[in-house]
Homo-oligomer: A and B are copies of this chain.
């Protein structure tokens, strides 16, 4: 038991060296990549469904719409630790700059989550006109991070 605890301490220390607590959550680097890609794909799918309503291409069914924005709000909180795993920029569309500029990257991520939170709150309110401007702001906050840190 004592040995096991010590192993745990060493593992945590190693994780702290190689990418922080984020590392400890994933069995391997590829899992971190797959995790964030999965979360971002789902975010994209549900955000697209929200966008279709905002653009008038799909009907505004209040509960479905609020559920889609709530899912985006839940899912957008997930991928960030997975982006911060050292070496996980290899073979993915994340530019190495995201790891080199962690604080800047994470500040953009935080700003994005704030905009998504506002969108979800407005969608729960059910006033589609109020949602429309916030949808634009939210899209901008996605792009603000994609532009510098995601390769085309």
Contact = CB atoms under 8 A, between A and B. Distances in A.
A42 interface: yes
Contact of A45 (B31, B41, B45, B74): B31
Nearest to A25: B49
Contacts of A74: 71, 74
Interface in A30-70: 31, 34-35, 37-39, 41-42, 45, 49
Nearest to A67: B77
A133 interface: no
A41 B49 contact: no
A69 to B, nearest CB: 14
Interface string A69-80: 001001000100
- The listed residue with most B CB atoms (<10 A of its CB), out of A34, A42, A71, A74, is A42
Interface residues of A, number: 15
Nearest to A32: B45
A15 B35 CA distance: 31
Contacts of A41: 34-35, 38
Nearest to A56: B4
A43 to B, nearest CB: 10
Nearest to A34: B41
Interface of A: 25-26, 31, 34-35, 37-39, 41-42, 45, 49, 71, 74, 78
For the complex of A and B, 5 pairs with smallest distance between CB atoms: A38-B38, A38-B41, A38-B42, A35-B45, A74-B74
